[in-house]
Amino acid sequence: MANSDKKDNKILKVGFDLDGVLLYNPARIIRPVIYIFKRIFLKNRLKKFYYPKTNLEKFFWTLFHKSSIFIAPGFKEIIKLIKQKKIKAYIITGRFNFLKKDLDQWVNKMRINHLFSGIYHNKKNEQPHLFKEQMLKKLNLDFFVEDNWDIVSHLNLKHKTKIFWIYNIFDRGIKYQYKFPGLKKVIEYLKSSIIK
């Protein structure tokens, strides 16, 4: 009984992607189109996340990230779990370094600097799936919540962290044990099945 109680009282380390997870982003609906393009035209689609090089490309990339328009439903429940000392929360975003200013604006808007245990962005402009793989290992997370299927499938093979996937409506046919339609459902699952 003592061992069971000790396990139940463990503070879980949970990582969250930003765009499409903590922030609602309707533009993610075009991901299947990008996926098909990569599959047809790129031999190794996972290792080819595009990095914008020119100022014009970075400008349009920044505009695209403005499509993260509001904080996702379920976010307030994360704050409650942090305050109850049920979880330690981390943001791990693959956003490239030139998007740091926009990231900082969202962090200030969410008022989480003093609540989240760490906020990490891709400041060396690495491939996002490799950056996230490194961070999962470094932080030794119990769970990570991600909305990009390519990244989910990569991380699932590389680390013991359990990966929760927030799927796109067009991806709902993909079979995966831990898939959810939105952040709120992820948090409900955490609370009902894992957190005691």
Query: Tens digits of per-residue pLDDT, 158-196?
Result: 778 999 999 988 888 899 999 999 999 999 999 988 876
Q: How many domains does the chain have?
A: 1
CATH number at residue 47: 3.40.50.1000
- β-strands 118-122, 87-96: how paired? parallel
Tell me: the pLDDT tens digits for 86-105? 999 999 999 999 989 989 99
Question: Is residue 115 within 8 Å of 89, Cβ to Cβ?
Answer: yes
Which is more confident, 5 or 17? 17
Rounded to the nearest 10°, the torsion over CA 117, 148, 121, 138 is 60
User: Regarding predicted confidence, which is higher, 150 or 55?
Assistant: 150
Pairwise pLDDT comparison (63 vs 106), residue with the higher score: 106
Mean pLDDT of the chain: 83
Most confident range (mean pLDDT) of 27-31, 52-56, 67-71, 107-111 is 107-111
Which residues, in sequence order, are bridge partners of residue 179?
165
Instruction: Give the start-end residues of each E strand in 44-150.
Output: 70-71, 87-96, 118-122, 143-146
Predicted confidence at residue 70, as pLDDT, reads 83
Burial string for 23-42 (b: 16+ CB within 10 Å, else e) reads bbbeebeebeeebeebeeee
Supply the range of the domain harboring residue 156.
Answer: 2-194
* CB distance 21 to 166 below 8 Å: yes
Strands, E assignment, 17-161: 23-24, 70-71, 87-96, 118-122, 143-146
**Total H helices, total E strands in the chain:** 8, 8
Interval 22-52: pLDDT, tens: 998 665 544 554 555 455 555 554 456 777 8
